[in-house]
């Protein structure tokens, strides 16, 4: 069973998916380009913005990296890894992806929103966390975007649920 590994892909297929763009990692290390799938999902680099210095401080400079601007679909640092994982799913002929997280998982929501745009169904195996308005908002977002949610109770149950999705062939077959 594959976990966080990439299949080998045809160079022409990799180039087609990249659409003429090259991420910073592959520009810096071109020998990796034939081995690491990637497709553009975000707008990089994101800006660094200066913030006002704390009151009474003149020698402190505060900067914030605006990763919230990585994508209008759903921003944040999750977009960078999804550019690789979703590219691999597409190139491997997957029709669905499965991920694991707590009930209010940002990764699950980001995966669902970006995968759906690429025509991939999303299965999210979930484990407990305290239910807050934030958690409910993310759960509603995942459901509204079309994710199939698999509740596992604890972390081990979520791992079993994720393995069940894989075992039942939902990644290659119809969602």
pLDDT computed for residue 172 by the predictor: 57
- pLDDT under 50: residue ranges of the chain: 174-175
Q: Which residues, in sequence order, are CB contacts of 169 under 8 Å at separation 6+?
A: none
pLDDT computed for residue 166 by the predictor: 84
Closest CA to 44 of 60, 12, 28, 22: 22
pLDDT computed for residue 38 by the predictor: 95
CA distances from 29 to 23, 84, 89, 145 (A): 10, 15, 23, 36
Closest CA to 72 of 117, 139, 108: 117
pLDDT computed for residue 66 by the predictor: 95
Contact criterion met (CB below 8 Å) for 141 and 115:
no
pTM surpassing 0.75? yes
pLDDT computed for residue 16 by the predictor: 92
């Amino acid at each position: 069973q594959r976990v966080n590994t990439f299949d080998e892909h045809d160079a022409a297929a990799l180039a087609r998916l990249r659409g003429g763009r090259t991420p910073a990692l592959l520009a810096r290390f071109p020998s990796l380009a034939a081995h690491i799938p990637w497709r553009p999902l975000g707008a990089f680099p994101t800006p660094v913005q200066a913030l006002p210095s704390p009151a009474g401080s003149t020698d402190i400079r505060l900067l914030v990296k605006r990763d919230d601007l990585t994508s209008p679909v759903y921003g944040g640092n999750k977009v960078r890894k999804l550019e690789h994982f979703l590219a691999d799913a597409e190139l491997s002929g997957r029709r669905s992806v499965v991920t694991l997280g707590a009930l209010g998982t940002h990764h699950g929501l980001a995966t669902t929103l970006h995968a759906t745009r690429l025509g991939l169904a999303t299965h999210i195996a979930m484990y407990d966390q305290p239910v807050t308005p934030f958690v409910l908002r993310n759960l509603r977002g995942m459901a509204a975007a079309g994710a199939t949610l698999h509740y596992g109770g604890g972390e081990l149950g979520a791992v079993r649920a994720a393995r069940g999705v894989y075992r039942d062939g939902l990644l290659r077959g119809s969602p």
